[in-house]
Amino acid sequence: MNTRVALKVGSLALLAVLAAGCGRATDVTVYEPGVYKGAKDPLLEMHATAEHKALLQERLTMGQTDR
């Protein structure tokens, strides 16, 4: 009787251990970007101007629209 109980408990424990391996965490870790620590890019100032944006838009219209 004791052997039977021990076997049952043992198999249940084994099943629990095996089943634990099948689990999969569904939580997604979301990271937020940090603050840039590198050198300053002079393009950032130039790129923010309306003239430069207009220039790039004109370039797109000239070269990539369908004719």
The footprint of other proteins (CB under 8 A) covers 30-44, 46-48, 52-53, 55-57, 59-61, 63-66
Q: Specify the length of the chain in residues.
A: 67
Q: How far is CA 67 from the centre of its chain?
A: 40
Q: Which is nearer to other proteins, 9 or 56 (CB)?
A: 56
Which of 53, 56, 37 has the alpha carbon at shortest distance from 45? 53
Least spacing, CB of residue 52 vs other proteins, in Å: 7
Q: In the bound complex, what is the minimum distance in angstroms from residue 27's beta carbon to other proteins?
A: 16
Distance in Å, CB of 4 to other proteins, minimum: 50
Q: For the chain, how big is the Rg over CA atoms in Å?
A: 32
